[in-house]
Amino acid sequence: MNIAGFVITLERAVERRPQRDWILANAPFECEPLNAVDGVAMTEGDVTQIYQRQIFSPRYPHALRRGEIGCFLSHRKAWQEIVDRGLEAAVILEDDVSFNPDDLRQALNFLRDYVQPNDYIQFQVREIENSFPPLAQAGQHSIVQPCPVILRTTAQLVTREAASRLLEVTRCIDRPVDTFLQMTWITGVPVKMLLPRVIQEISQNLGGSTLGGRKKPWMEKFTREILRPIYRTQIWYRALQVSQQASAK
């Protein structure tokens, strides 16, 4: 499998350019920058064309910030590149990652042998307790399928079939991209995970998140703290149902 690479980078985030350039120079695959969609620069017309609240179930309880919309559209842009270029798969990185090139090369060699045509493979940036049965394993590397999908879109390998399907079901969005990917019953795309961790997230060394947005009033913060665990429980329960149904077939 030939694997290309894209580094999503926001043009105005000049403080991240040295890290973007480091990634491009050290990635163990052909890699190029992909200009992110700047949600802050979007017009109201741009937003209403792509964003609508509460499309899918369970309903996402929060309004999206412009940065979250831009982040989602940036990943859609990468998926579109995969499809338009007819790539077998691509590694999509955000520009706040670091890695040991040799470790990443070994991981990709493993994935080339075991990735399936419709796969979306997360490279997690946190240490994850390995309590999931391996779907594929060789040496120290394994592919597992968490339930529910773990939140994070810092780094991932996306196949062409997965990219095509995700483009179809995201013509209009209602929640952040990582939260949407949890809903495999909507996407039809199995999100799997590579172990062990070979990617690190270093946004705090680069000035923090680029999602931005206004400072939230205390009441909004309070409401989010109440609604977040309710929503996550709904996702967990639905994901468990889907997993049990699949196991019963």
Q: What CATH architecture does domain 3-248 belong to?
A: Alpha-Beta Complex (3.90)
Q: Please state, in angstroms and rounded to a whole number, the distance separating the CA atoms of residues 50 and 36.
A: 16
Written as six digits, the tokens of 212 are 């931005």
Judge whether 189 and 165 are in contact, CB under 8 Å.
yes
* pLDDT value for 23: 97
Whole-number average pLDDT of the chain: 92
More confident residue, 130 or 7: 7
Alpha carbons 125 and 238: distance in angstroms, whole number: 25
Sequential DSSP letters for 29-54: S-EEEEEPP-GGG--HHHHHHHB-SS
Which ranges in the chain belong to alpha helices (H)?
17-26, 44-50, 66-85, 101-114, 160-169, 177-181, 184-187, 218-248
Which residue in this structure is represented by tokens 């000035």? 207
User: Domain residue spans in the chain?
Assistant: 3-248
Phi, psi of 223 (to 5 degrees): -65, -40
Alpha-carbon separation of residue 8 from 77, 81, 113, 124 (angstroms): 9, 12, 26, 17
Return the pLDDT at 233: 94
pLDDT on residue 190 = 93
pLDDT at 114: 95
The residues near 182 (Cβ < 8 Å, ≥ 6 apart) are: 148, 149, 151, 191, 235, 239
pLDDT of residue 173: 97
**Mean pLDDT across 85-101:** 97
Report, as an integer, the average pLDDT of 65-94: 97
- pLDDT, one tens digit per residue, over 206-243 is 876 666 555 667 666 767 788 889 999 999 999 999 88
pLDDT digits (tens, 9 = 90+) for 24-42: 999 999 999 999 999 999 9
Averaged pLDDT, 134-143: 95
Eight-state DSSP code of residue 56 = S
Q: pLDDT tens-digit profile of 144-192?
A: 999 999 999 999 999 999 999 999 999 999 999 999 999 999 999 999 9
Burial class (CB in 10 A: 0-12, 13-18, 19+), 243: middle
pTM: 0.91
